[in-house]
Amino acid sequence: MNKKILCEVCGAEIPPQRLKILPDTTTCVKCSQTKPYSVVDVLGFDVSQEQERNRVNIEDFEESDN
């Protein structure tokens, strides 16, 4: 008895033929062609972490008691 694997995006069953060719796939054909990819997927790094490193620290501009 084959276990049904469902698409992580739409929940439809992933056809056995697709799983035979791509055993690690988590999406059906339709969703694999329309899946919105994140910046991390495309660029390989998290832009939000890069932005955080470059963020100006407001405390650097606050007046000190000196």
All structural domains of the chain with their residue ranges: 1-56
Mean pLDDT for all residues in the chain: 75
pLDDT of 43-58, one tens digit each? 656 656 656 666 666 6
C-beta of residue 47 within 8 angstroms of C-beta of residue 41: no
pLDDT value, residue 22: 92
Mean pLDDT for the stretch of residues 12-27: 93
Tokens of 2: 């084959």
Greater pLDDT, 34 or 26: 26
Round to whole Å and give the CA distance between 23 and 43. Answer: 25
pTM of the complete model beyond 0.75: no
Distances (CA, A) of 12 to 4, 39, 41, 51, 60: 10, 26, 23, 37, 53
